[in-house]
Amino acid sequence: MDELKIVKYLSGELSENEAEEVKQWIDHAEHKAEFEKIQQLWNSSPLLKDEGLFQADLSWKKMKLRIDNEKVKPLSGIFAHKWSYAIAGLLVILLGAALFFKYYFQETAPGLQFMTQDRKQDQPVILPDGTRVFLNRYTRVVLDQDFGKDTRTLSLTGEAYFEVAKDKTKPFIIKTATAHVKVVGTSFNVSAYHDQDSVQVAVNTGIVELYSAEEISHKIRLTIGKKGTYLPKNEKLVSNPYFDSNIFAWRTHQLSFKNADLKYVVNMLTIAYGKDIKIKQVKDDSFRWNLNVDHLELDSVLKVIVGTNNLKLTKAGGSYLISSK
Amino acid sequence: MSLNLSDGELLDQIKKGDEKAFELLYKAYFKILCIYSYRIVKSPDVAEEIVQDVFFHIWDKRKSFELTISFKSYLFRAVHNNSLKYLRHQKIVSAYENSGFFSGTEEVTGQQLLEEAEILQMLHKVVDSLPERTREIFELNRFKGLKYQEIAEFLSVSVKTVEAHMSAVLKSLRNGLKDYGHFIWLGLFLIFIIG
């Protein structure tokens, strides 16, 4: 019996007469065992359809984090520290370069290390000094062994919102892979976008120092209404007065677009909602949006966006695709 | 050069705290275990979480981890049980049992479980090794339910071409089955690392 006939039989491509012929061949004792196995495989094959949903390498990174997390030694004495409740209105957002990692949220050895996976945390983590930290998706905060001793130093990958407790004797320092942020005065905002390969600091009130992780003397001081950017590629530190409140959207659930183009809108939605949104074959991108988003589901927002400019929205798995109609 | 280590050997390494061995086993089993769990829990995120938890447990308890069954059987058993546990929690066990995929009941024997595991593992291996075009045609037929004629039209090729690719699939399955027979005969599942 040739293979084509058998495979056509399995696919249901044969006429009744032809199928009968194959059946008789199968019923033969020497073919039966093998064919039954083949049939089993054939029937099970649609199971592989969903294979693409699972990425071993990415998943391993998460697993590695869980394992590493386990290795961290607990810190002692830190909770004995009496911290001040006088929390300044201090806002910090830091988005490190490692946003691609999906971090697993686990509260082991409290006060030491905090992580989130694909869901942000609505309740803040309270650090031993009273600082409140809200974690966005895929974020990890690790306190230094000596946190609270002379300084309050921690490392961050991902994105977090800090309300730093006031303590002038112990500087609050946030370390990312490429830049460090030091609280000098009272309150400020920090943000650093992974897609820009930079760390950004936006100050509300007070004074903040932004400096290179490698060269401490290489720094800028930022005051009210200023935004500082550090570009690790050419070690450039720049300061300008611009501040975009949309970077807080993941926490505030509010976005505001004024005369914004599609790329910007989609970029901000991607960050705010943590979903993959792609733009493909949009012929005319001259349209500008004026839109306020306040506590809305992403689906509704996207429907409005495609609806106002004759675009098409396709949803596949957890991703969205925007294209021309 | 290729390095072949059995699950048992890798497990011994893991007990000594060898992270690389753990990574190898994780990556070798991750996909098929996720696929297995996904069929039950219907959510890719939950499936991955279940598989992660099973592996994390192994790592966590590596010093005292002892098996009376094969590692593969253990993995599928654990993923199976945890998936059902999740469903019970979701109170939709009955819906799943009526869906008729695989055995589906909690009363799965070790033999059945191992058979399912082996089918999945083998399928994955065979389909993964198919040439791209062959795989595409196979998937259009099996995943999308297209007839040979429809596939030919869709890809702008002759029906003869489609038939040739489908024959090749069958050939691969038969060869895989033969190879797999040896695997079972040896009682080993080997992981190949292309060095």
ipTM > 0.95 (yes/no)? no
**Which of the listed ranges A292-296, B132-136, B142-146 does the model predict with the highest average pLDDT?**
B132-136
- pLDDT value of residue A36: 85
- pLDDT value of residue B159: 93
B139–A contact, CB cutoff 8 A: yes
CB B82 within 8 A of CB B122: no
- The encoded tokens of residue A201 equal 């600091």
CB neighbours of residue A133 within 10 Å: 20
CB A158 within 8 A of CB A135: yes
Give the least confident one: A232-236, B6-10, B175-179: A232-236
Question: Is pLDDT above 70 for A85?
Answer: no
Q: Which residues contact B123 (CB under 8 A, 6 or more apart)?
A: A41, A44, A45, A47, A48
User: How many Cα atoms occupy the beta-carbon half-sphere of B30 within 13 Å?
Assistant: 24
How do residues A228-258 score in pLDDT, each as one tens digit? 777 777 777 777 765 566 766 776 778 888 8
- Give the pLDDT band (50/70/90) at residue B107: low
Give the least confident one: A117-131, A307-321, B23-37: A117-131
- The encoded tokens of residue A19 equal 């199928």
Question: Is pLDDT above 70 for A205?
Answer: no
Percent of chain A topping pLDDT 90: 2
Give the least confident one: A50-54, A105-109, A177-181, B103-107: A105-109
User: Which of B170, B179, B183, B184 to mutate to test binding with chain A, by most A CBs within 10 Å of its CB?
Assistant: B170
CB B15 within 8 A of CB B100: no
CA distances from A302 to A120, A195, A275, A293, A323 (A): 21, 22, 12, 11, 12
Q: Cα(B137)–Cα(B148) distance, rounded to whole angstroms?
A: 9
Q: For residue A175, give the nearest of A193, A199, A148 by alpha carbon.
A: A199
- pLDDT value of residue A97: 32
CB A167 within 8 A of CB A208: no
Query: Exposed (0-12), middle (13-18) or buried (19+): which is B59, by Cβ within 10 Å?
Result: middle
Percent of chain B topping pLDDT 90: 26
Prediction pTM value: 0.47
User: A-contacting residues of B 5-64, CB under 8 Å?
Assistant: 19, 22-23, 26-27, 30-31, 34-35, 38-39, 44-45, 47-48, 51-52, 55-56, 59-60
Query: Which residue matches tokens 């806002």?
Result: A91
How do residues B30-48 score in pLDDT, each as one tens digit? 999 999 898 888 888 889 8
- The encoded tokens of residue B101 equal 């995929």
- Residue of chain B whose alpha carbon sits nearest to that of A33: B177
- Give the pLDDT band (50/70/90) at residue A187: low
CB A210 within 8 A of CB A238: no
- pLDDT value of residue A318: 75
- pLDDT value of residue A184: 58
Question: What is the rounded average pLDDT for all residues in chain B?
Answer: 79
For residue B89, the 8-state DSSP code is: H
Q: Across the interface, which of B27, B48, B119 has its CB nearest the CB of A41?
A: B119
Interface contacts (A, B; CB < 8 Å)? 110
Q: What's phi and psi for B101, nearest 5 deg?
A: -90, 135
- pLDDT value of residue A325: 80
Q: What's phi and psi for B35, nearest 5 deg?
A: -60, -45
- Strand arrangement, sheet containing A227-231: A189-191, A199-202, A227-231, A236-240
Q: Cα(A65)–Cα(A103) distance, rounded to whole angstroms?
A: 7
Question: Is pLDDT above 70 for A190?
Answer: no
Question: What is the rounded average pLDDT for all residues in chain A?
Answer: 73
Strand A227-231 and strand A236-240: pairing? antiparallel
CB B63 within 8 A of CB B96: no
User: Which of A9, A53, A65, A69 to mutate to test binding with chain B, by most B CBs within 10 Å of its CB?
Assistant: A53
Query: Exposed (0-12), middle (13-18) or buried (19+): which is A33, by Cβ within 10 Å?
Result: exposed
- The encoded tokens of residue A191 equal 């943000």
Q: Across the interface, which of A49, A53, A57 has its CB nearest the CB of B143?
A: A49
Query: Which residue matches tokens 């093998």?
Result: A34
Contact B123 A10 (CB under 8 A): no
User: Which of B36, B142, B178 to mutate to test binding with chain A, by most A CBs within 10 Å of its CB?
Assistant: B142
- pLDDT value of residue B23: 92
For residue B17, the 8-state DSSP code is: T
Tell me what the mean pLDDT of segment B65-93 comes to.
82
Q: Cα(A188)–Cα(A208) distance, rounded to whole angstroms?
A: 7
Q: Report the run of H or E that residue B160 belongs to, with start and end.
A: helix B159-186
3-state DSSP of chain A: CCHHHHHHHHHCCCCHHHHHHHHHHHHCHHHHHHHHHHHHHHHHHHHHHHHHHCCHHHHHHHHHHHHHHHHCCCCCCHHHCCCCCCECCCCEEEECCCCCCCCCCCCCCCCCEEECCCCCCCCCEECCCCCEEEECCCCEEEECCCCCCCCEEEEEECEEEEECECCCCCCEEEECCCEEEEECCCCCEEECCHHHCCEEEECCCCCEEEEECCCCCCEEEECCCCEEEEECCCCEEEEECCCCHHHHHHHHCEEEEEEECHHHHHHHHHHHHCCEEEECCCCCCCCCEEEEEECCCHHHHHHHHHHHCCEEEEEECCEEEEEEC
User: How many Cα atoms occupy the beta-carbon half-sphere of B137 within 13 Å?
Assistant: 29
More confident residue, A226 or B154: B154
Q: Cα(A11)–Cα(B145) distance, rounded to whole angstroms?
A: 9
Q: Cα(A268)–Cα(A271) distance, rounded to whole angstroms?
A: 5
Contact B35 A8 (CB under 8 A): no
Q: For residue A50, give the nearest of B139, B91, B8, B22 by alpha carbon.
A: B139
CB A293 within 8 A of CB A256: yes
- pLDDT value of residue B158: 93
Strand B190-194 and strand B2-6: pairing? antiparallel
Query: Exposed (0-12), middle (13-18) or buried (19+): which is A30, by Cβ within 10 Å?
Result: exposed
- The encoded tokens of residue A192 equal 């650093």
How do residues A8-42 score in pLDDT, each as one tens digit? 999 989 988 989 998 888 888 788 888 888 888 88
